[in-house]
Amino acid sequence: MSKKLQHKIIKIRGRSGQNRRGRGRVKIRYLVVAGALMGAVGIPRVVEADAASCPDVRVVFARGSGGERWRTDDYQAFKEGIEGKLATTSLKYEFIDLDYPAVGVGIDHLETTVGAFFGSGNAYEFGASVNTGVRNLVALVNGASCPGTKYVIGGYSQGAMVVSKALGGLRADRVVYAATFGDPKLYLPEGKGMMPAACKGENLSDYRMYVPDCQAYKGLLGAYIPYEPEALVGKVGTWCNRGDIFCSSHLNISDHLAYVSENLYEDASRVIFDKVCRTFGVENQVSSPHDTAILIDSTGSMAGMIDSYKAEALRLARETLAADGRVALYDYRDYQEGYEARQRCTFETCTLETFRAGLDEIRANGGGDTNESLLASSLHMMQELSWKRGATKSVVVLTDAGYHNPDYDVGGTTQLDVVALSKRIDPVNFYVITNAEYGAEYEELAAATGGRVVTELDELSLLTDYIMERYDSLPKVEEDATAVELPTVTVDGVSYNEDGATVEFIVNGGDRVMVVLDDYVLGVVEASDGVGTATVEGLDAEAENMLMLVPLGDDIRGEVVEVRLGGGSNGGLGGIDGIGGEVITDGDFVVGDILIPKAPNTGKR
C-alpha cells in the first residue's frame, strides 16, 4: 500500500444499536491495539462510625491501569514510604487502595516512536473507570463517616487522573496532601512555548515537585485546568519521571514504569510526612537520608582552631551515620603549593572509626597567600564522590580564609563552575564555617547552593542540628535543562458527512501524529510529506467529542492540538447549520488552553 494511503487509517465504526453517547467499536486499520478489561465497580459505603474508632489519617492510593487491588508495586511503595514515618508518631492511621475498576489497557509497540500507549475495543470504558474512581474518592473523603479524619491521597497513571480530576470536588479541610505520579492529564503552563519559562527555572508551579523535563506542558491525554484548585493551594504535588510518555514531552514507556525503582514514592513520602506533622502539630523525628561531605582547610593558619572544628565534624559524622546517612572526609590547602584535595574516606568507606582516623591524619601545616583552593578542591571532591539519589546532600567547609576565584588548577575553576555542578547533582548545599571577616565572601556561594554561612564557633552545634533536620525533595526541574525544538501540528481543515468527520492536519518536525479521542489513544497516523488525515466515523452528533492530535518526533512529542467534534442539537454531523467541529486556536498555534478537557461523554466539563 502506498504511503499516501497509509496515513488515512483511523476509523471509529458505529455498531448497530450501540452508538448511544458515542459508544462504538474501535477499528484501527494497520495499527491494531489490544482491548481493555473492565473490572468490578465498587462504591464505598458511607456509615456512621464511633469517633474513637476513626483514624487520625487515612492514606488513600488510586492504582494504575489493570492493577490488582492491594497488590501493585506502586501501592506497596507508596504505603511503605509513608507508613514507616507515621509509625514514629502517636497518630492513628490506615491505608486504603481505592475501590475502582482501574481498567486494564493494551500495550503495543508501535515502531520506536511511541513505545506504548492506551488502546481499547471500547474507547469509553477507560473514562468510565476514571469517573467511577472520582465518585468513590469524593464519597470517601467527603462522607459523613469519621468527619475528623484527615486524608493523604496518591495516584499513579490512570489513578493519577482519578485524583487530579477529583480534587475540585474534595473538602479542602479534610485533605492534608494529594500527590500524583505519571499523570496523563498533567498541566504545567511553565512548559509551554519555544523557550519555556521552566527551562530557565522561572515561574515553576508550586505543585511541581519533581518534573525534570522543562518542556513538560500537558499530559498525553490533555490536561485538567486548573490542575491545583484554589482551595487546595499548597496541598497538591506532582511527580513526572524524566521521559515518561504520559506526562513529559518524551516518549519513554520505561520511565512511566519506574516510579518505584527511581524512589519517587520515597521522595514524595518525605514531603507528605512533613505536611502531616505540620497539620497535626507533631514533631517530625524522621530525618532524610544524608550524604554529607566534610572539607577541612588544613593550612598552618588553622592550627589554633582546627581541634574545635574537628570535634564538631566528628559530631556531625556521628549523627549522620546514626541516622543511616553517609559521610565523606577531605582536606585541602592551595593548588599553588602542589597540594590537591586529599581524600581521607568516601561515602562507601567512612565508618565512625575510619572517619575518626581520617581526622587524626589531618595536620595544620603549610600555607602561602591568604586565599586557598576551595573551588578546585570542592569541584574535585564532588566529581569523585558517588552521591546517592534522593539523599539530602551537603558540603561542610571549615576554613579561616577566603578562596581564589578563578582557582589555580589547570581548568581555572570558578564559583560558577562549582554552583553549576552542585545543582546538576541535586543540588549539593554548601555550609561554610569561617571567621567573621570572611563570612560575607562566602554568602553568595552558600546562597546559590541553598546553604548557610556560620562565623561563630558557638553556632557550630546549631548548624549541625539544622543540617540534620533538613529534608530534600528531588529538584523541581533539571537546572541545566535546555529547550529543544518540538514537533508541531496544525489543523488544516475539518469536513463532515452523515457518518462522521475527517480532520486534515499538517505536521512539522515529525512524521507521525498520535490520535486521541476523549482521553483514549486510538493509534498513530503516518503523515505523507507532512500532511495527514484522521477519519472518525460513527460519532454521536448529540455528544461532544474531543479529538486530540499529538505530533511525534523520534523520541519527543509536541503540544497537543484539540478539535471539538459534534455536540449539536439538530442531529447528524453533515451539512446542517450549527452542526460541526470547532478548532480551538490561540495565535498562530492550534491549542486548547481555553477548553478544559473532560472525561468521555459525561456531558460535564
What is the CATH classification number for the domain harbouring 245?
A: 3.40.50.1820
Element (H, E) at 490: strand 488-496
510 located within any domain: yes
Model confidence band, residue 586 (pLDDT cutoffs 50, 70, 90): very low
Question: Domain tally for the chain?
Answer: 3
Verify that 327 and 215 share a domain, yes or no. no
Residue 582 has pLDDT above 50, yes or no: no
Are 506 and 589 spatial neighbours (Cβ–Cβ below 8 Å)? no
Please tell me which residue, 164 or 599, carries the higher pLDDT value.
164
Q: Which residues pair with 445 in a beta bridge?
A: none
pLDDT digits (tens, 9 = 90+) for 96-127: 999 999 988 654 433 333 333 444 334 457 88
Model confidence band, residue 573 (pLDDT cutoffs 50, 70, 90): very low
d(CA 302, CA 316): 20
C-alpha cell at 439: 563570612
What size, in residues, is the chain?
Answer: 605
Please tell me which residue, 327 or 368, carries the higher pLDDT value.
327
Residue 450 has pLDDT above 90, yes or no: no
Give the 3-state DSSP-derived string for 232-292, with helices as H, strands as E and coil as C. HCCCEEEECCCCECCCCCECEHHHHCCCCCCCHHHHHHHHHHHHHHHHHCCCCCCCCCEEE
Question: What pLDDT, on a 0 to 100 scale, did the predictor assign at position 2?
Answer: 31
Verify that 145 and 112 share a domain, yes or no. yes
The one-character DSSP state at 206 is: T
pTM exceeding 0.75: no
| CATH code at position 553 | 2.60.40.2450
Are 174 and 149 spatial neighbours (Cβ–Cβ below 8 Å)? yes
602 located within any domain: no
pLDDT digits (tens, 9 = 90+) for 192-251: 988 899 998 889 999 999 999 999 999 998 899 999 999 999 999 999 999 999 999 998
Element (H, E) at 384: helix 374-384
* Start-to-end C-alpha separation, the chain: 41
Exposed/middle/buried for 448, CB within 10 Å: 0-12, 13-18, 19+? middle
Verify that 251 and 399 share a domain, yes or no. no
Verify that 399 and 535 share a domain, yes or no. no
pLDDT (mean) for 169-189: 97
Residues whose CB is less than 8 angstroms from the CB of residue 501 and which lie 6 or more positions away in sequence, other chains included = 494, 495, 535, 536, 539, 547, 565, 566, 573, 581
Verify that 362 and 450 share a domain, yes or no. yes
346 located within any domain: yes
Highest average pLDDT, of 358-372, 440-454, 477-491, 586-600, comes from: 440-454
Nearest to 169 by CA among 125, 134, 219, 214: 134
C-alpha cell at 384: 569523585
Question: What pLDDT, on a 0 to 100 scale, did the predictor assign at position 457?
Answer: 58
Mean pLDDT of the chain: 79
Of 251, 280, 309, the residue at which a domain comes to its end is 280
121 located within any domain: yes
Question: What pLDDT, on a 0 to 100 scale, did the predictor assign at position 52?
Answer: 63
Lowest mean per-residue pLDDT among 135-144, 296-305, 420-429, 573-582: 573-582
Exposed/middle/buried for 87, CB within 10 Å: 0-12, 13-18, 19+? exposed
Q: Whole domain around residue 213: which residue ranges?
A: 31-280
Lowest mean per-residue pLDDT among 72-76, 445-449, 523-527: 523-527
Of 280, 305, 320, the residue at which a domain comes to its end is 280
Model confidence band, residue 379 (pLDDT cutoffs 50, 70, 90): very high
Verify that 260 and 135 share a domain, yes or no. yes
CA 449 to chain centroid, in Å, comes to: 21
